[in-house]
Structure 1
Amino acid sequence: MRLTKPHPPRAAASSTPTPKHGLNANRVVALTPSASSRSGGLRVSAASVAAAQPTAASPAAALSRVDVLSEALPFIQRFKGKTVVIKYGGAAMKSPELQASVIRDLVLLSCVGLRPVLVHGGGPEINSWLARVGVEPQFRNGLRVTDAVTMEVVEMEVVEMVLAGKVNKQLVSLISLAGTTAVGLCGKDARLLTARPSPDAASLGFVGEVTRVDPAVLHPIIASGHIPVIATVAADDAGQAYNINADTAAVGAEKLLLLTDVSGILADRDDPGSLVREADVAGVRRMVAEGKVGGGMIPKVECCVRAIAQGVRTASIIDGRVPHSLLLEILTDEGTGTMITG
């Protein structure tokens, strides 16, 4: 377990340690907001750029953007043609501006040859609709809970309506507006995901776990250049709908990224500066056993561990509220948040 990710030195390649993505990248790409229209609302800078900050309209600023694109090339080559699953939800979806930024970054990854799959929740939107029908949302260890049986039925109907309907189609529309195409699905479609009640169903209600994955429906969608957008609703063999943690949709993916409302795993939950940059499965399990990981972080860690067990090479927990955290994690060596490896 490392509390910091390595910063590759600017020495010769022979003395450079193996970086996070297995690339010989000697510089870290950084992305920051800007008003520059030519960069689509981004000003991109790199560690190699001179200390003097050129204006957005100057030739030096244009050169710095081109320089950064060149530096990103090894990472683009590393992930070109690979499926990357992005799980998106919670407070990271609250801000329309941040949501639009995430979608633009998703489209950028698609345009440079990655095969992104967006798996989404819709916590804030679900809570808003539940309030309209008089249901107060409750959570236990980061999972949605309902107590009364009659309210469970109402809540599940609202969850399915909001997730597979309103939120799903809104994300599809945003992707279209950003310049590419998407296909909205939920776990029920083509039996993509089959669920069963959670072992804690007595206390959680209609919260399920995935028992079977059939990604056949995704293959032609991805091969045609579309982005699958999957709502976390699935049914059991009897047709009962469940709200699920759809991490198993990451089967066959190179990387899983959880865009959340936390910076990652902390070695000390009371110290925001103790971010664990990288850990293996054994290390995070030990942290859970020691009580260093608790509450809503537990299902996030379990999600990553299951994905790795199913063949995903790495899984990262990153703060979706940080602008361009998705690009920082995939297209730079330093990354952001916590990366979990096998």
Structure 2
Amino acid sequence: MDDTEPRPGDPGWATARTLAEALPYIQIYDRETVVIKYGGHAMGDSAVAKQFAADVVLLKLMGVNPVVVHGGGPQISAMLDKAGVKSAFVDGLRVTDADTMQVAEMVLSGAVNKEIAHWITMAGKEADVRGVGLSGKDAGLLTVEKTRRTRRDPDSMIEHEVDLGFVGEPTKVDPKLIAGLIASETEDWVPVIAPIGVAEDGQTYNVNADTVAGAVAGALGAKRMLLLTDVPGVRGADGEIIRQMTLSEAQALIDDGVATGGMIPKLETAMAAVRDGVEAVVILDGRRPHAMLVELFTEHGAGTLVQAG
């Protein structure tokens, strides 16, 4: 064997080859914004959370501007159980009364938000990359209005409005605070945003994290939005993962009943974000190690990409 050739199984050469192959993709995302929706049950696993934080720091060091929007449904449910507060769901949205809202804000803006920001800061300690925890209430970041939902009575077939309580929908995102953190030339900040917003009358609302991520990505003109979920992507009628689809193809999956359950709002969020100016949205499995890196920096991808056409 020529001494200039890599030896089989040599980990050093394999790593160098991987980095070289990633170069074109690193250039594509240089100084671009990538909004990451982080949630699901993976948030409760400290090892997975630490790996996620390390990958976010690596993105920052590779020239990407990551912005994290997180959920916290399981954590809210656990705290409500401890407090003896019962909650119900309508179409996947938690009915949020005053007591539930208080717990939701405490969990999302407090424990969960600060923990994620802390993990990012710890992972980036040597490079001085720091996570900064925020909520939609900070600096007027997220303005919302009360969510309106209707349901059809199966007997009378009459639609009636369902009161979800303090659940909101984004009406305006003011990106100045986030843009300022991203543009800082003296510090490497990673914004971490809790999905809590405020209405024009000052009332605080709980907001679906996927929806917030889409609204923030649109306002920032993000290159990509990554929806980290508990599934490997969107499955077609044949059960296979669809690697890429257009807006019309995504809508057809919903209309034809191929997309069901929780995948419907994720596809709707993806389509809305693309219409708002995000180049593409990727739905991928956040439990897989380094899924974000595989998606952004390899030719293979790691989920289902939704784009205009």
TM-score range, shorter chain: 0.7 to 0.9
Residue 194 of structure 2 corresponds to residue 249 of structure 1: no
1:135 alignment partner, SS class = coil
2:135 maps to 186
2:154 maps to none
Q: CA deviation at 1:79?
A: 0.3
Aligned length: 279
Residue 206 of structure 2 corresponds to residue 233 of structure 1: no
CA distance in 2, matches of 1:70, 1:109: 16
Q: Find the partner of 1:90 among 37, 40, 57.
A: 40
Residue 52 of structure 2 corresponds to residue 102 of structure 1: yes
Q: State the identity %.
A: 43
8 A Cα contact 2:68 2:191, kept in partner: yes
CA distance in 2, matches of 1:125, 1:158: 10
Q: Deviations over 1:281-325 (max 9, x none)?
A: 101111101111121111111111111011000001101111111
8 A Cα contact 1:88 1:119, kept in partner: yes
CA distance in 1, matches of 2:167, 2:40: 16
Residue 130 of structure 2 corresponds to residue 154 of structure 1: no
Q: Deviations over 1:157-203 (max 9, x none)?
A: 11111101111111111011001212111111111110001122734
Q: Deviations over 1:108-128 (max 9, x none)?
A: 000010000000111221111
CA distance in 2, matches of 1:266, 1:139: 25
Cα 1:155/1:340, change in 2 over 3 Å: same
Q: Larger deviation: 308-317 or 194-203?
A: 194-203
CA distance in 1, matches of 2:296, 2:86: 38
Residue 114 of structure 2 corresponds to residue 169 of structure 1: yes
Residue 89 of structure 2 corresponds to residue 139 of structure 1: yes
Q: Larger deviation: 289-298 or 75-84?
A: 289-298
Q: CA deviation at 1:337?
A: 1.4
2:170 maps to 210
Q: CA deviation at 1:214?
A: 0.7
List gaps (5 residues or longer) in structure 1. Answer: 1-48, 55-59, 147-151
8 A Cα contact 2:181 2:189, kept in partner: yes
CA distance in 2, matches of 1:103, 1:90: 15
Letter in 1 for 2:271: V
List gaps (5 residues or longer) in structure 2. Answer: 1-5, 150-160
8 A Cα contact 1:183 1:221, kept in partner: no
CA distance in 1, matches of 2:138, 2:72: 18
Q: CA deviation at 1:72?
A: 0.8
Cα 1:292/1:203, change in 2 over 3 Å: farther
2:306 alignment partner, SS class = strand
Letter in 1 for 2:130: T
Residue 266 of structure 2 corresponds to residue 316 of structure 1: no
CA distance in 1, matches of 2:189, 2:246: 33
Residue 233 of structure 2 corresponds to residue 264 of structure 1: yes
CA distance in 2, matches of 1:185, 1:265: 30
* TM-score normalised to structure 2 length: 0.86
1:196 maps to 145
2:162 alignment partner, SS class = helix
Letter in 1 for 2:162: A
Letter in 2 for 1:250: A
Letter in 2 for 1:218: I
1:92 alignment partner, SS class = helix
Cα 1:141/1:297, change in 2 over 3 Å: farther
Q: Deviations over 1:58-97 (max 9, x none)?
A: xx21121111111111111000000000001122312111
Q: Deviations over 1:117-160 (max 9, x none)?
A: 000111221111111111234333332235xxxxx111111111
Residue 11 of structure 2 corresponds to residue 66 of structure 1: no
Alignment RMSD (CA, Å): 1.6
CA distance in 2, matches of 1:298, 1:205: 22
Letter in 1 for 2:217: A
CA distance in 1, matches of 2:194, 2:113: 6
Q: CA deviation at 1:267?
A: 1.1
CA distance in 2, matches of 1:254, 1:129: 36
8 A Cα contact 2:95 2:165, kept in partner: yes
